Each structure stands twice: as C-alpha cells, then as structure tokens.
Structure 1
C-alpha cells in the first residue's frame, strides 16, 4: 500500500471535523459547548450533521469529545463497551441515576473501561480545552444512546426532541416530529431499577488504569491494558495495548483484521510494506488487515501509543457487579 493510499486511513488531530449538535443535550446549558467527533465507524451520534472520517468496519468505533472547562456530557448509558482515554485536560467521570453513585478524576493517558449498563457522564474540570478519545464496542455501537429521563426532559425545555428511532429534531429551527413518529419514551421507574449504582470503590480498581502505571509495566514489552489477560480484565469485543519507547520494536507484524494506532505522547514513525508516516498525539491511523507494519518513536522524550484490535468476543455488557 502506497503512502497516498494510506492517507485515507489516517485522521490527523488538526483535521478532525466536529459536530456541535451530535446529541440531545446540545442546547442544554452546561453541555452546549461540546464538540463530538466520529473518527472510525458510524458512532452513536443522533445528528445527521455528524461527519464520519473513516467508515470501514473495524469491529469497534473510535470517537472523541472535545470540551472547554466546566462543560459536561449528560448522563447516558450504552449497550456495548465504552472506553475513554484522556488525550488532554483533566476530566471528572461520574455515574449512577443522578450521577452521584461514584466518580473518578482522570488525566492525560489514563484509561477508563466504563461498565456497560450504568448511567455515566463526564466533565472537563481542567483550565483549558480538553479532549478525550473513545472506543465503542461493535460496528453499530449497540444501537445508540440510552439517556437518563431528566436529560430528555431538560433537552425538550431547550428545543431538542429525540424521536423513538433516535433522531434529533430542533424546534428552534422549526423542526418537529414527523406525523406518526413518537418521541423517545422515558424509562419507567421499573426500567430504571435495572441500571446498577456501583460505588467508586467497586468500579475504579477493575475499570481504571493510570498512565504512569501502564508506562512502568510496558518498559520491555507492550502492556495489555484491556483484554482477557489485561490489567483491566474484560472481553468487550476488542483489546487495547499500550506501547512505549521501551517496548516498541522495529520488527514488522500484521493482524487478520484492521487495527488502530493512537499516540498519547511523542511522535511515532509508522512503517509498512510500501511506505511510512509520522503520527502525533491526537492522530488516529487504521492499519489494514494482513498488512505488515511497525511503529517506533521518531524523537526523544516520552512516547506512548494505544493499539486497538477487535476480538471475536461479543461487544456486550462488562459490568459484573
């Protein structure tokens, strides 16, 4: 594959196209300055305005959220895995029906395998614009987002209505639900009982991995972060490894399915049969299946990247509490 052919599989940080109306809380004060990005796969955006950078199926989706300080993403749940790692900024993740069951603060490089089936939200508590990168299980990302009832109610008060099929309509633009289309029903109290309320002590030890702990463990070989034998033991439909300067190798390898490289720190020279390129933090590269490739840091200093590849495990629930 030539470098020109590979360009369609590389999304540079500076070329990311944001959507500011991706979800139902896009007009709700406190959440109305979010930028959402769909990098690989269709994602779970509820807006027709969302740009998809790479549509090739990978067995998972890659997205991102960029937010200024004090901006938050409202409480929601997914039917498949949702894994975040912090690219920049300082972020508070919280969960539970009202967001009060537990919380954790993450910084650059930290990763959070958020349990499926619980309501979760997050906010930028840093001083500058921050970015978090997301991995969602499955090619269809589980059929969309399940919102806490109060999020749907708050959104309606600010002009956004979600249809029962998960499509957004903006009444401020004169839009309304088409004839015969019903609004998204609110979860009932009985349905809400099915959503667990795990504590911080229950979630963090098995779902959060700190960047510098991973770097220390990856001093000689890549560390498996998420997987059956990983630091965070789970089988969400994909595996995540962290590669560092100490564990990078100039030998070529390949996979029988597409894989993804996402630098956290440092610049990385990625080479393959036919060419090479350099990736920087925030860049995302999709490597075709069966293509021999490798990656090495191209400059001195701290260097780490996440490597993601799908597995044959179903992209189903992860919370076992």
Structure 2
C-alpha cells in the first residue's frame, strides 16, 4: 500500500505508519531499508537517519518520489556514516508532538496518528484551528473560541517569510516581553489575556502563557521589525533624536497593541530594556550626516544584527531572546 507522509512528520513515524499500512513490523521495514541490527524504537524518543540510498528505497516502498518525502519529512537524511540506517536520539532543538487529532480522523485510513517533528515547541494546525504543544494528544487545544490566535499565527508566518531567520529572534524577544507583562500582571493580564484564558478554558498557568499572549507577541514582533529596519540604517524610529532611546516607538507599540494606558502605567519598562539591548551603534555625529536608506529597504529581509548575530534555529524561544529574564523567574530587576 502506498502512503503519503503527513507534512512535518518524523521519519521514524512515517516508517512506522508505512509498516502498519502494509501489515509489516517497523523492524522489518528498517531491514528492507538496510538496517543491519534488528529492533524497533519509540519514535517519540528517537529518530531514524537514512543514507541517500536508503531514502530512495523508502520512496519506492511508499510509492512517492524522493523530493516529495524531503519536503514532507523535515528530519529526513542526516549523518549516518557507513550505515544505511541509523536510529539515534533526537537531535537537539526538535520537539516531537502528536499530529492534530482532527486531521487523524479526517484522513480516515485507520492508521495510527503521526508524530510531527517541529523546530518550535508549539504548532498551530491552520486547517482545524488547534494548538499543538506536546507529544500528548490531550494537550491539544481547540482555538475555535479564540480565533485571534489562528489569525496571529497567519501573521507570524507572513512576518517570517518577509524578514527571514531574524524574525525568530524578534518573536523570541516579543514573547519574553509579553511573559514579563503577564507575570507582573501588567498590560492585558486583567482584560485581554484574562478573557482569552476563559475562552480557552485555561487558568493562570505558566505553562500556557505563550498561547494566552501569542496574538500580542506577534503584533509586538511586527512592531520590533519596524524598529529594527530603522536601526539597521542608523536611524531612530520616526526620526527621533539620535541620542535618545525613542519613547515614540514605545508609545506607538502600545497603541498597536491597544494597550496605551497599560504602557504608561509601567509596561514601557520591559520595552525600554529591549531598546537598550538593541541600541544603535552608529556614532551620533555620523548619524546626523547620513542620508536616507536606499529605496525598497522596507521590503528587504533583515540581516542578523547585534545582539542576535547567532542563535539556535530550533528549540525553545527563550533560548533565543537577548532579554535577561525567563518565564517563571525573577523579573524584579527591570
């Protein structure tokens, strides 16, 4: 029986479902692909790495072309040395989570759910509006009561496409700022976020703070992108004074979030900490002499800039952020 992989599926999960579809064991399929030592594995804990020749064999067994598999299986390939097949612990940064349960039912093939390999610790099923965040299907959340989360995810995907890899650093910083506000009971804690927690049936739990604040974190990341496009060319937001941390941008960000009053009451402190980390390196005298940015600069991808010259491509967002506090930790120094 031919089988098409679920988009984002782990290689081990696909092999397991292919075996099930053909009434075989996973161990037998691995042997067909060239594994020399018998045995199976828990694909939530480990992954299968395949040589080029083994990848071609897998495509033949599945009735799909190799490029189709490469597009769908993010971890396909890898360093296997002299082996055709290597079962190994999950590479750092990957999160394994259960496929959207509604997607499983809609497939109707009777096969086991797929295990999805994600470079983030969360995913949104755009087809069915569900929040995925762990390998436990019970942890999936329907976003039907809070459609603004789905809309925010669509905005995030557009921002990532426009900015390139640097967008991940901005979302990481925006998520840290939002978590700071949530933890300090500032900004939308008593209004927008309390309402969203109720809609989603959540309590005030640290485990769900990213979901609860996600729409505002995405909007804040968009505002940070505007700031960073100006900073790249040594300019202050809205032509502010070059020797002054721009309060104009902080006020504007508060207006974009619909939380201008909360910003005035103390929310600005977290954003001021961010602007200090993202200060303009160009000397003041040089900034006063320079001309405008080149035409079309607002449509260009952003290069990596200090303090984000390098950061992990996958894994927890908080490991990417330049801000000193972390979820659940002390925020009293700001």
Q: Same fold (TM over 0.5)?
A: no
Quick check: which one's strand share is greater? 1
Instruction: Kindly name which structure, 1 or 2, has the bigger radius of gyration based on alpha carbons.
Output: 2
TM-score, normalized by length of structure 2?
0.25
The two structures have a TM-score, normalised by structure 1, of 0.26
Higher relative contact order (CA 8 A, sep 6+): 1
Structure with higher helix content: 2
